[in-house]
Amino acid sequence: MADTETDVKTTVDTGKFRLLHTMLRVIDLERSIDFYTRHLGMKLLRRVENEHGRFTLAFLGYGDEESHSVIELTCNWGRTDPYEIGTAYGHIAIAVPDIYAVCAALEKAGVRIPRPPGPMKGGRRPIAFIEDPDGYRIELVERA
């Protein structure tokens, strides 16, 4: 029996769709920008202050927003209590060339590494998980 929701094809041409960004809410914007730029090598691409909405957005990534997906950090002014990450959030993933050397350098810099580098059970490609200052998990995947 067919499931009509999953069997219905969209009439929209998705050929030019692309993923723009992933948004993370952060408490201390400067601390988070420092983490992503200093430890992960991202560039601060732009910053948007919204007086009316009382928030600041910072867009970071490895290339311009016209051709690369980026991270949007959102800082709501005056908020000091941490956000609940929840059980639905998983992680973002970043490809790195030598995961063991990267993790050694991150650990030396004080970055939390809850899952040290190594292959997954049944897998061969080494991965690791690190955490940003707000507790968001970032998967590092070794790719040459």
Burial label for 6, CB within 10 Å (0-12, 13-18, 19+), is exposed
> Is 139 labeled as catalytic in the residue annotation?
yes
Count H helices, E strands: the chain?
3, 8
CA distance 58 to 22: 11
Structure tokens at 29: 């914007």
The one catalytic residue among 65, 107, 131, 139:
139
Measure Cα distances from 25 to 14, 28, 41, 52 in Å.
29, 10, 20, 18
Catalytic residue set = 139
